[in-house]
Structure 1
Amino acid sequence: MIKNIVTAFDQIATANADQVAYDEMGKHTTYGQLKTAADSLAAWLDQQSLPEHSPVLVFGDHQVEMIASFMAALKTGHSYIPVSSDSALPRIQSILDTGKPSLILAIDPFPSDQLTVTVPVIAKEQLATVIADAQPLTSEHPVSGNDLAYVLFTSGTTGSPKGVEVSHDNLLTFIDWMLGADFNLPQRANYLGQPPYSFDLSNMFLYPALMSGSTVKAIPHAVVENFGQLFTALPKLDLNVFVGTPSFVDMLMLSPAFNEQQMPGLTHFLFCGEELTVKTAKNLHQRFPHAHIFNTYGPTEATVAVSGVEITPEILANSDRLPVGYAKPGIELSIWNGDQQLTTPGQQGEIIIAGDSVAQGYMNNPQKTAQAFFTLNGQHAYRTGDAGILDEDGLLHHKGRMDFQIKLHGFRIELDEVRASLEKSPLIKQAVALPKYNRDGKVAHLIAAVIPKETTDSENDRTQKIRESLKDLIMPYMMPTQFVYRESFPMSANGKIAVKQMIKEVNQ
C-alpha cells in the first residue's frame, strides 16, 4: 500500500535505476535518469520563490520532460496543470485566467505572443539546462494528504473549461486500486502511453506504470495522427497493457497486424472515457482471445475511474450494452431522481458518486462547485449528469448522458441506445445518433451519422440495406429517418467522438 506518491516514486526509481521508465519512440529514459531530472528541476523550482502550493502549468505532448515536470512539481509541494500543445488558443487563455499558475514549463513552444501571459515562461532550452545541471534535492516538502496533485481542465464542449482539483489522496486511492487484485496487472509491464496528459485517462497508464517499476511506451500526437506510422510502430512496442478509449482501439483494429499473433504480450485492455460497445469488445476478443478486457467508468471529477469489471465471454454473450463495473473500495455509488435517492435495483436515474475519489471541486469557480459537489452521508459527493442503473448485485450500467436524452413523438430516447442499436448492423462500422431540432427547439427527427463497411452501393441502396439489416434490431420509433455517411468522426482533444460538435453541425 503506497503512502505517498513522491516517496514511492523515489524508492522505486532508486531500486530500479537501470530499468527503462519511459520509451518515447526509441528514446529511452531510465528510472535513475528520470529521478535525477525530476530532482534537479525540483531543486530549481525551490529557488524560484513561488507562492506555496501554487499550480505550475506544464505545456507539451508526450515528452519525458512532461513527466519530470509533473514529479518536480509534486516534490516541491505544487500541483501541476497539464496542457496539450495542440490546444486551441481560447482554451489555453481560459486555463491561464482560471488556473492562475505561478510558472509555465514549456516543453513545446508556448504561444505567449498570442496570449495574455503574466507569469514566467520557461522554454525547453532553459529547462534542458536546468535538468542537465543535476542538482540534488535537499528540501523535502512533497504534496500529501489533501494537497492538490493536479488540476485538470475539462474538454469545455459547453462553455469555458472547468479546472478539476484532484488531491494527492484522491490520486493515491486510484493508484492503489489499479495496482490491486481487481485488475491483476502484470509486473514490470509495458504500458501504452497514448492518451494526452491533458486527459485524465493518461493517469491510468502513467501512475500504475511508475508505481510498479514498469515502462511507459509513449506515442506522440503526430504519430497517432499518421496511420502508417502508428500501425508500423505498434507491433514493435512489445506492449502488455493497453489503456485508451474504445474509439482508439477501433482505429487500431483497422490494422490487420493488431492481433494476438503479432502482439502476443498484450494481455490487458483497460477502457475508459466513453462507452465500450458490445461490437468493439467482440471484435477485440476475436483479435486477442486470451486477453483480459476491462470496462471502467468515472468522470474527471472522481479521479479517472470509480468502477470496473472484466468483460468475460459470458457478459458479451448476454449483453446488449456492457456494464461499467462495481464500485472501487472507498466509493459508494447511488442512483437519484432529482434530490431523491432511488433504492429499488434496476431503477434509472442520475449516477451519484461519493467517497475518497471525489475531487475537491472546480478551481476558482465556487458557483459551479456548489452545483455539482455536495456532502452525502458525511462523504464528499458528485452529481455526474450521467444516467444509469445499479442492479441487485451492485453492478453499474451506464445509460448515457442525461443531456443526451431526447423526446421524439412522445417517446423518451437515449442517443447512446440508438447508436448501440445501429452498430448491431453488420453493414456499419461506427455510428452516432444526432437529433435534428425544429424552430421551436423540439426534436423533429433523428439523423444517423455512419461510417459504413466497405461497399460499392449507391447511398440510396446502402441506406435501404442498412434499414433492412436493422429491422429486428431497433425499435421502429428509434429508427433514424436520415442517414449520412462519413469516412471518420471528429474527435475531441481527449480522443472521444465529439458528439456535441456533430449535433451542433447538423443543426446549423
Structure 2
Amino acid sequence: MASKIRQIILNSLRINKDKIVFDDGEKFYTYSELDYYSEIICKYLYEVNNPSNSVVSIGTNDFFSLCVLVACIKSLHIYCPIDENNTENRIQNIVNVINPKIIFAHRVTDLKLEDYVVINYDDVFNKIILAQPYSNLFTDRQENYVYTIFTSGTTGTPKGVLISYENLNCFSEWFLSKEFGLEENDRILLQSTFAFDLSVMSWLPVLSMGKTLVVLSPKIAANYKKIQKWLQKVKFDLFISTPSFLKLIDLCTNFSLDNFSYLNKIILCGEELQKAMAKRILDTLPNVKLYNTYGPTECTVAVSGIEVTYDLLSYDSIPIGTIREGVEFIVDISNEELSIAGNMVSDGYINNFMATSSNFKKHNNYNLYKTGDKIYIDKKGYIFFKGRIDDQIKWNGYRIELREVESTIRKIDIVSDAAVIVTRNRDEEVNGMIAYLTLKNHTIEFNDYEVVYNMIKKLLPKYMLPKRIEIIDEMPLNNNKKIDRRALLAEKEFNN
C-alpha cells in the first residue's frame, strides 16, 4: 500500500503549481507543467496496460525523466531509471533483469527491444499539445514499490534494489525532519542522474516541500569550463553530492565566494569524506553547514548522518553519523561487518532470488541487510567507517564490485583471465583501478593494449572503467592457488 509520502508529493504538485520545480540554467518548468506532462505519460501507461508494473526510463537527470518518475508515483508503477550514458551492454542487461513492458528513452540504438513498447521522449513531448490528460485512471491499482535502483553485481549482472513506499516513508520522516533543516532551503542541487539513489536526496525534499531542483546535466558536469560558466548563471543554497564531486567543484572554483555566497548547506553521501576535505570546507566556507551521511542503496539512500564541526576533526576519521531511532546497527564481532535492520531496509533485488536470500534476512520482524561494510561505534555513539570486507569499492560515489569488472572483461574473446586491483592516493582514497589481463594463445603486441581497452569501453560504463590495463604472461597465484592480488599490488608499486 502506497504510503503518505506519495500523497504529500501529489498534494505538493497542486499546491505549488506556479512555483518553479526544475531549473537547469537554460530552461525552467513549473509544478503545473510537471503535473500536466506527467498526466500525459499516465495516459500512455494506462493505454498500454502494463502487466509487469515496472516502467524503465533511459535518461539522465533531465526534465522528462522527472516527468516519468512523477507519472509512476501517480499511477503506482515502479520507476526503473537507467543512465543513458551506460554502455548498451549494461543497459540491455538491466532491461533483461526487469523485463518491463514499457521503456521511455532518448535513444535505443542496437538494443534488443522487440518485446517491449518503446516510447521516445521527443515523441511524447510533440504529442503533448494534442493530448488530453487522464485523471484518476489508477484508483483501483495497488503497488508496494516506488522505484528500483541498480547496483553493481558480483556475477557481472547488475542487481536491482526494490525500494517500497514504506522504505521511502521511513527515509523521508528522518531526512525531512529538523535534523537537516531542509525547510530553510529553496533551491536544491541535483547533480547525479536519477539512476543513482543519491538523487533521492534532491528530488524527495523538492517534490515534498515545493522547492526547486537546480539541475547540473552530465554534459556540463564533465567539463571544467562549462561547470564554471554554469555556476555563474545559477544559484542554489543546498549542495547535495559526493565528496569526489565536491573536490571537482573546488578545483573549478577554489570555492570562490562569488559562486557560493548564497550557499548555506552541504550534504555529502555515497563515499567516505576525508578529513582534509572536511577541514577545507570548514575553513573556506565558515557560514555553510556541512553534513556527512552514510547508507547502502539497499537501506534507502542513507541511514545515518552528522553535522561536521571542527571538534570532529580531532578523530582519526570523520564519523558517518550516530545511531538514529528506528534503525538497528548490528556489528559482527568476528569481522566488524555491519548489518542494518529496520523499516528502511529493502525487500531485496528484483527478479533475483539467489542474491536476495544471501544478503537479506529477517530480524525481529524487520528486514535485515548485510552491508559488507566494516564499522566501529565509539563510547559517544559516533559511527566510523573502516572499509569493506569484500571486493567492493566506492569510487566517485558509485558502488563497484571488482568481480563484476573482472567477469565483464573476461567476456572478451581474446582475454583468458582478468584481475582488478584498486589504486589509492596519499590520503588512502580510491582514485582508480588497474586491470591485469592474460590473453588466449596470443603474443602480446604493442597495439593489443589499445584494442583490448576499446573492447572494455564497449562493455563497461564510464565510471567502472579501469584507468589503465596491464597485459601479463600469467597470473601470479598464492598458496591456495588463487590469484595473488598482493603480488599484483607489489608489481604496481614496483612499476610506480
TM range (shorter): 0.7 to 0.9
Q: For residues 168-223 of structure 1, give each alpha carbon's deviation from its aligned partner in whole angstroms, at most 9, with x where no partner exists.
A: 11112212211111111243511111111111111111111111111101111111
Amino acid at match of 2:427: E
Q: Does the Cα contact within 8 Å between 2:10 and 2:74 map onto a contact in 1?
A: no
Q: Does the Cα contact within 8 Å between 1:166 and 1:360 map onto a contact in 2?
A: yes
User: 3-state DSSP class of the match of 2:161?
Assistant: strand
Q: Does the Cα contact within 8 Å between 2:20 and 2:29 map onto a contact in 1?
A: yes
Equivalent-residue separation in structure 1 for 2:181 and 2:194 (angstroms): 24
Tell me the C-alpha RMSD between the 2 structures: 2.9
Question: Which residue is equivalent to 1:62?
Answer: 61
User: 3-state DSSP class of the match of 2:387?
Assistant: strand
Q: Does the Cα contact within 8 Å between 1:294 and 1:308 map onto a contact in 2?
A: yes
Q: Does the Cα contact within 8 Å between 1:431 and 1:448 map onto a contact in 2?
A: no
Q: Report the alpha carbon displacement of residue 119 of structure 1 after superposing the two structures with TM.
A: 0.7
Q: Does the Cα contact within 8 Å between 2:9 and 2:207 map onto a contact in 1?
A: yes
Equivalent-residue separation in structure 2 for 1:387 and 1:77 (angstroms): 37
Equivalent-residue separation in structure 2 for 1:35 and 1:193 (angstroms): 19
5 Å-filtered alignment, 1:104-503, equals 104-106=103-105, 108-111=106-109, 113-132=110-129, 133-141=131-139, 147-156=144-153, 159-187=156-184, 189-256=186-253, 258-316=255-313, 318-337=314-333, 349-403=336-390, 419=424, 422-423=426-427, 438-440=476-478, 441-444=483-486, 481-482=493-494, 484=496
Amino acid at match of 1:360: D
Q: Report the alpha carbon displacement of residue 303 of structure 1 after superposing the two structures with TM.
A: 0.7
Q: Report the alpha carbon displacement of residue 439 of structure 1 after superposing the two structures with TM.
A: 2.9
Q: Does the Cα contact within 8 Å between 2:54 and 2:78 map onto a contact in 1?
A: yes
* Pair 1:157–1:285, CA change in 2 (3 A): farther
Q: For residues 280-329 of structure 1, give each alpha carbon's deviation from its aligned partner in whole angstroms, at most 9, with x where no partner exists.
A: 1112222211111111111111111111111111102x122111012343
Q: Does the Cα contact within 8 Å between 2:185 and 2:238 map onto a contact in 1?
A: no
Q: Report the alpha carbon displacement of residue 47 of structure 1 after superposing the two structures with TM.
A: 2.1
Identity of aligned residues (%): 29
Equivalent-residue separation in structure 2 for 1:79 and 1:142 (angstroms): 16
User: 3-state DSSP class of the match of 1:276?
Assistant: coil
Equivalent-residue separation in structure 2 for 1:483 and 1:3 (angstroms): 56
Equivalent-residue separation in structure 2 for 1:303 and 1:380 (angstroms): 12
Q: Report the alpha carbon displacement of residue 431 of structure 1 after superposing the two structures with TM.
A: 5.4
Amino acid at match of 1:376: H
Q: For residues 119-168 of structure 1, give each alpha carbon's deviation from its aligned partner in whole angstroms, at most 9, with x where no partner exists.
A: 11001232114533241413243987x71101111034762100111101
User: 3-state DSSP class of the match of 1:47?
Assistant: helix
Question: Which residue is equivalent to 1:28?
Answer: 28
* Pair 1:435–1:446, CA change in 2 (3 A): farther
Unaligned runs of 5+ in 1: 339-347, 406-414, 450-479, 485-508
Amino acid at match of 1:159: G
Q: Report the alpha carbon displacement of residue 61 of structure 1 after superposing the two structures with TM.
A: 1.6
User: 3-state DSSP class of the match of 2:253?
Assistant: coil
Q: Report the alpha carbon displacement of residue 423 of structure 1 after superposing the two structures with TM.
A: 2.1
* Pair 1:9–1:448, CA change in 2 (3 A): farther
User: 3-state DSSP class of the match of 2:370?
Assistant: strand
* Number of equivalent positions: 425
Amino acid at match of 1:232: K
Q: Report the alpha carbon displacement of residue 75 of structure 1 after superposing the two structures with TM.
A: 1.2
Amino acid at match of 1:331: V
* Pair 1:11–1:142, CA change in 2 (3 A): farther
* Pair 1:92–1:130, CA change in 2 (3 A): same
User: 3-state DSSP class of the match of 1:266?
Assistant: coil
Amino acid at match of 1:284: I
Q: Does the Cα contact within 8 Å between 1:433 and 1:448 map onto a contact in 2?
A: no
* Pair 1:142–1:72, CA change in 2 (3 A): farther
Amino acid at match of 2:288: A
Q: Does the Cα contact within 8 Å between 1:76 and 1:142 map onto a contact in 2?
A: no
Equivalent-residue separation in structure 1 for 2:432 and 2:119 (angstroms): 42
Normalising by the residue count of structure 2, what TM-score does the alignment of the two structures yield? 0.79
Q: Does the Cα contact within 8 Å between 2:61 and 2:192 map onto a contact in 1?
A: no
Q: Does the Cα contact within 8 Å between 2:182 and 2:205 map onto a contact in 1?
A: no
Amino acid at match of 1:80: Y
Equivalent-residue separation in structure 2 for 1:379 and 1:246 (angstroms): 32
* Pair 1:4–1:302, CA change in 2 (3 A): same
Amino acid at match of 1:240: D
Q: Report the alpha carbon displacement of residue 481 of structure 1 after superposing the two structures with TM.
A: 4.6
Q: Report the alpha carbon displacement of residue 116 of structure 1 after superposing the two structures with TM.
A: 4.6
- Report the more deviating stretch, 433-442 or 366-375: 433-442
Q: Report the alpha carbon displacement of residue 394 of structure 1 after superposing the two structures with TM.
A: 2.9
* Pair 1:27–1:103, CA change in 2 (3 A): same
Amino acid at match of 1:204: M
* Pair 1:304–1:128, CA change in 2 (3 A): same
* Pair 1:433–1:97, CA change in 2 (3 A): closer
Amino acid at match of 2:360: F
Q: Does the Cα contact within 8 Å between 1:433 and 1:446 map onto a contact in 2?
A: no
* Pair 1:306–1:136, CA change in 2 (3 A): same
Q: Report the alpha carbon displacement of residue 404 of structure 1 after superposing the two structures with TM.
A: 5.2
